[in-house]
């Protein structure tokens, strides 16, 4: 079966719908209107309906969507996206914090190893995830067929580490470093910059 | 002086340009072409030029932008966005990790206090930020004129905590909880959902 080609921002919204439907499903709610689902996801109803056309229509006019049917459909679409082993590179302040965060595992992502230039210095007392020296990174990625990496190294090191990751076979990077990575077209990068998020919010405070 | 009305996504990109210009400035580089600056920020040159028209043109055809001039201009625009006191609500796993993260302070954001339903249980050994019981939150926000909050409570509690924050005067929320918050129009929310970021990336792994 070939994978549906769905734009990245749509996939992001599908993840949101999926989580809302999961809660509805757990609460034994059987149907949901497109308006209610759109509101819960913070999107316009037209956007929701457009997103759901990627895998056929489930909405019945006036009756809304069947929660279980839509939930299963989204599970199928997103299933491959879960249970990917992940490595984390850069076990400094933020990296160590993320190693102690259990939210990834809860959602089906296991951080199998971390790498740092000073593994012995990693503040890793509360985590069971091993921290290896960074010169073992490429070998580990190759041997274990790792495709997904979390990058929490300082900005000055980020591009060269990213190059090495891509060279070793990494296809997707969640980048917390404060630079925009230059990567080949087939590699996907999502950026999370917590300070910029705060700066952005602050700009709108009156 | 009235504040320029700049769209949120543009402000986000200005933060990126600002950081790149800061590095160029530190490296005593005097001019930068729009192509080079756009590439470093991961945007198209047309987008960059459009973004910079919000405060007049600095580019000289064929010579590029004067780094110092553009850096000062962006400093002025974003200045108000820094040194905002911030509170963090929900000192669980992720919240505690963020309390130990020093990257906010480095960028001019001080987390002045944290709040939790079980403050005594917060894993806060390595942080100097006080963790108070959540029933002191509204009073603290009002007394200290806090406008900005980081929300790291469980999804089930997020909306009611957000309501309370808004009621107390919070104008901007960096939301890590896995729900979309319903807030009045004048309140801005940026969402960071680390698991969804990973799920999104994983979808595109072949």
Contact flag B81-A203 (C-beta cutoff 8 Å): yes
Pick the most confident of A75-79, A163-167, B68-72.
A163-167
CA of B80 vs chain A CAs: smallest distance (Å): 7
Mean of the pLDDT values across residues A31-54?
90
Residues of B in contact with A109 (CB under 8 A): 195, 198-199, 202
Question: Does position B60 have pLDDT exceeding 70, yes or no?
Answer: no
Domains of chain A and any CATH numbers: 8-79 (1.10.10.10), 85-199 (3.40.50.720)
Contact criterion met (CB < 8 Å) for A197 and B188: no
Which residue among B41, B188, B199 sits closest to A78, beta carbon to beta carbon? Answer: B199
* Distance, CA of B192 to CA of A169 (rounded, Å): 27
The strand pairing partners of A182, in sequence order, are: none
pLDDT of residue A123: 61
Record the pTM.
Answer: 0.84
Question: Which of A16, A107, A174 is nearest residue B180 as measured by Cβ atoms?
Answer: A16
What was the pLDDT predicted at B3?
A: 58
Instruction: Please say whether the beta carbons of A135 and A159 come within 8 A.
Output: no
CA distances from A29 to A19, A40, A54, A61, B49 (A): 14, 14, 24, 18, 49
Nearest-CA distance B6 → chain A (Å):
9
Of A193, A195, A202, the CB nearest to B148: A202
pLDDT above 80 (res B129): yes
* ipTM of this predicted structure: 0.83
E-state strands within B157-204: 172-175, 188-191
Q: Are B42 and A180 a contacting pair at CB < 8 A?
A: yes
Which chain B residue lies closest to A97 (C-alpha atoms)?
B97
User: Which ranges of A169-206 does DSSP label H, i.e. alpha helix?
Assistant: 194-203
- Count contacts between A and B (CB, < 8 Å): 182
Q: What is the mean pLDDT of chain B?
A: 87
Range name among A55-64, A104-113, B131-140 with the lowest pLDDT average: A55-64
Give the pLDDT band of residue B1 (cuts 50, 70, 90): very low
Chain B residues near residue A104 by CB distance under 8 angstroms: 194-195, 198
**Four-point Cα dihedral A138, A144, A148, A154, nearest 10:** -30
Nearest to B19 among A98, A123, A178 (CB): A178
């Amino acid at each position: 079966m070939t994978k549906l080609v769905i734009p990245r921002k749509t996939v992001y919204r599908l993840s949101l719908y999926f989580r809302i439907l999961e809660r509805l499903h757990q609460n034994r709610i059987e149907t949901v209107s497109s308006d209610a689902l759109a509101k819960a996801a913070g999107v316009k109803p037209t956007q929701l309906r457009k997103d759901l056309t990627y895998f056929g229509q489930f909405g019945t006019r006036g009756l809304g969507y069947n929660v279980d049917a839509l939930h299963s459909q989204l599970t199928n679409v997103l299933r491959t996206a879960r249970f990917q082993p992940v490595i984390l590179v850069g076990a400094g302040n933020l990296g160590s914090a993320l190693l102690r965060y259990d939210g990834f595992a809860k959602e089906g992502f296991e951080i199998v190893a971390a790498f740092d230039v000073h593994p012995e210095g990693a503040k890793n007392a509360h985590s069971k995830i091993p921290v290896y020296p960074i010169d073992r990174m490429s070998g580990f990625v190759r041997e274990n067929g790792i495709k997904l990496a979390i990058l929490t190294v300082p900005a000055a090191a980020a591009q060269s580490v990213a190059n090495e990751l891509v060279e070793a076979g990494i296809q997707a990077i969640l980048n917390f470093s404060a630079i925009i990575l230059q990567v080949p077209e087939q590699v996907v990068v999502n950026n999370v910059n917590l300070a910029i998020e705060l700066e952005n919010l602050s700009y709108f405070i009156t």
